[in-house]
């Protein structure tokens, strides 16, 4: 009886630990944070490729492949390493496709633009592309896993 109880407790602990670090591409992450400055609401009717909301998300691909899940050429790459983003204050045009590259060998990161549905998980040694269907303005972004380590930045969206 004690062995079954111990096994059940261990199974619950493992499940809880596995779920504690997960995020969703469903577009709910980032809501309730700081609103973008100088940004108007996005036009209705914009489509997504993955997840919910009005924004396009890319698919995971190996970092060296250069593949793009979002439409359009990649105009900016943001690299995640050592609990920081480089560059930490990038600028891109509205509608641009950017690549998020996780150069860590074993640490997953997120790229979450606060107050938008853009909330992707980037596994170690992979990249994802994101189409920035956002109005011009300034948007804080963060790795939700490592925000306490200072892993954050500010994205400036310029008009097309």
Domain locations along the chain: 46-158
In this prediction, residue 71 carries a pLDDT of: 63
How is domain 46-158 classified at the architecture level of CATH? Sandwich (2.60)
Q: What is the pLDDT of residues 36-88, one digit of tens each?
A: 343 333 333 222 233 333 333 343 333 322 333 466 799 999 999 999 999 99
Give the separation between CA 127 and CA 40, rounded to whole angstroms: 29
Residue 115, pLDDT above cutoff 80 = yes
Percent of the chain with pLDDT over 70: 56
| b/e burial code for range 61-71 (CB count within 10 A of at least 16 → b) | bebeeebbbbe
Provide, rounded to the nearest whole percent, the portion of the chain with pLDDT above 90. Answer: 54
For 34, 97, 108, 120, 126, the CA distances from 28, given in Å and listed in that order, are 14, 21, 19, 11, 23
Token pair listed for 105: 């060998």
pLDDT over 60 at 8, yes or no: no
In this structure, the number of other CB atoms found within 10 A of the CB of residue 118 comes to: 28
CA distance 101 to 106: 13
């Amino acid at each position: 009886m004690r062995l079954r109880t111990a096994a059940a407790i261990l199974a619950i602990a493992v499940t809880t630990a596995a779920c504690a670090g997960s995020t969703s591409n469903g577009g709910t992450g980032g809501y309730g944070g700081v609103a973008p400055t100088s940004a108007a609401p996005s036009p209705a009717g914009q489509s997504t490729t993955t997840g919910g909301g009005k924004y396009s998300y890319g698919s995971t691909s190996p970092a060296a492949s250069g593949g793009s899940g979002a439409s359009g050429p990649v105009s900016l790459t943001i690299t995640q390493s050592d609990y920081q983003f480089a560059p930490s204050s990038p600028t891109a045009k509205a509608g641009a496709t950017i690549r998020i590259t996780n150069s860590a060998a074993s640490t997953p990161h997120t790229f979450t633009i606060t107050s938008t549905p853009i909330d992707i998980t980037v596994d170690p040694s992979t990249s994802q592309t994101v189409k920035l269907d956002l109005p011009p303005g300034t948007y804080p972004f963060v790795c939700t896993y490592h925000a306490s380590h200072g892993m954050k930045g500010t994205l400036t969206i310029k008009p097309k």
